Amino acid sequence: MNGLKLIQFLSEYLHIDEDELCPFFENSKIKRLKKEDYLLRKNEACKHLFYVEKGLLKQYSIDAKGKEHILLFASEGWWIADRESLYFNQKSRYYIQAIEDCELMVFDTNFIETLSHTFPNFNQFNVNALHKHIRHLQIRIDMLLSTSAKERYLDFIENYPNIMLRVPQNMIASYLGITPESLSRIRNDLAKKG
């Protein structure tokens, strides 16, 4: 059966027996991506929400000068989608691309609604997940606007140590909103201070 980790997590969180959840996942789809494959491209419609079972993805935009700006990384246990496109039926402004080979569980909004109606606790889980996502984005915006590049890098190391070891420095620089050269200087300064 697909999604055993997700079923176990939801079972614990919602206080529901795994057997009650299993029927909802029997026909769930798994999407496999190879490294550098696209899950979504700019101007496409995002039709699904994806749960990362294995692998690592990035969601990003490209500016008029061709520079990549990484909005977020999604690793195991994370959800990823262009929510604006998914819930407001708009073309995506973003690309979602595999950094590593990935296995994703695929869900449409009907699946989420069905779980919400069947398990009242799931609705609260969904609201909490959205609140956490909004909180994450607010903190990210605040960090980009009001902290130094060094502070953002130290925060990244502290909060995303598993991602730090899995992505190249130029992607970390893009996520932090700095150049790779600036990141290199920060890393060298920190190494000297030991």
pLDDT at 1: 53
pLDDT at 23: 78
pLDDT at 115: 83
Q: pLDDT by residue for the chain (194 residues), tens digit each? A: 567 778 887 888 788 888 888 877 776 789 999 999 999 999 999 999 999 999 999 999 999 999 999 999 999 989 999 999 998 999 999 999 999 999 999 988 888 888 888 888 888 888 888 898 899 899 999 999 999 999 999 999 999 999 999 999 999 999 999 999 999 999 999 999 87
H or E element that contains 33:
strand 29-33
Contacts 24+ apart (CB under 8 A), 64-71: 68/174, 69/174, 69/177, 70/171, 70/174, 70/175
- Residue 57 burial (10 A CB sphere; 0-12, 13-18, 19+): buried
Q: Are 92 and 45 in contact (CB under 8 A)?
A: yes
Domains (ranges, CATH) in the chain? 4-146 (2.60.120.10)
Measuring CA to CA, which residue among 132, 143, 146 is closest to residue 175? 143
H or E element that contains 49:
strand 49-54
The DSSP bridge partners found for residue 77 are none
Those residues with Cβ within 8 angstroms of residue 122's Cβ, 6 or more apart along the chain or in another chain: 10, 14, 115, 116
pLDDT at 75: 95
How far apart are the C-alpha atoms of 74 and 1, rounded to whole Å?
23
- What is the 3-state composition of the chain as percent helix, strand, coil, each rounded to the nearest 5? 50, 20, 30
How far apart are the C-alpha atoms of 194 and 191, rounded to whole Å?
5
How far apart are the C-alpha atoms of 80 and 106, rounded to whole Å?
10
How far apart are the C-alpha atoms of 177 and 21, rounded to whole Å?
41
The DSSP bridge partners found for residue 103 are 32, 54
